[in-house]
Amino acid sequence: MAKRSGLEAGYDERQVSVLGRAYRYAYLTLLFSLFFYIGSEAIFGRWCDAGAGVGICICISVAVLVVTCIWNDAYNRLHERPWRIILQSIILGILNFVLALLAMRNGEMVEHGILTFRVCCLALSVISGVIPATYLLRWIMQRKEQKEE
């Protein structure tokens, strides 16, 4: 049997295929969101600094990757339970949300009418909330499918 390395270790062939498709979707999402960001700056003027714009685009891309993988059962390795990932994402979401609130309170989120890089903490807290929400929706859908059978 061929030795698997890196990403493929612990995943079956279907999961590796889904991971490849998810990476493709995430890459295309990143490209389109960056083009949208550049176009919005050209149309509306500077509404955020470059770090915030690119950070938001990356967060959107990561959200597409995570949702695609979770929905197609390719986010966890075989026989791995998602509870650790869900707990970690909830903790990271809360911490990033607290950092975002502190930045808002201190006036660091928007300076001179322009969003700063601090908005990425808010975007990361949203993505951290998307992970458990996607797991919950997937679990509800699986339960519903099992009841119908």
pLDDT in tens, 9-66: 677 888 888 899 999 999 999 999 999 999 999 999 999 999 999 999 999 999 999 9
Task: Answer yes or no: is pLDDT of 8 > 70.
Answer: no
Tens-place pLDDT, residues 89-139: 999 999 999 999 999 999 999 999 999 999 999 999 999 999 999 999 998
Instruction: Report pTM.
Output: 0.84
Q: Who has greater pLDDT, 8 or 21?
A: 21
Task: Answer yes or no: is pLDDT of 1 > 50.
Answer: no
Question: Cα–Cα distance between 91 and 97 in angstroms, integer?
Answer: 10
Question: Cα–Cα distance between 24 and 16 in angstroms, integer?
Answer: 12
pLDDT confidence tier of residue 68, bands split at 50, 70 and 90: very high
Question: Cα–Cα distance between 125 and 100 in angstroms, integer?
Answer: 8
Question: Cα–Cα distance between 112 and 118 in angstroms, integer?
Answer: 14
Tokens matching residue 57: 């685009």
Helix, strand and coil content of the chain, in percent to the nearest 5, comes to 75, 5, 25
- Residue 11 is predicted with a pLDDT of 75
Task: Give strand ranges (E) for 31-99.
Answer: none
Question: Cα–Cα distance between 52 and 59 in angstroms, integer?
Answer: 10
Question: Cα–Cα distance between 80 and 90 in angstroms, integer?
Answer: 18
Question: Cα–Cα distance between 92 and 87 in angstroms, integer?
Answer: 9
> Phi-psi region for residue 11, left (φ > 0), alpha (ψ -120 to 50) or beta?
beta
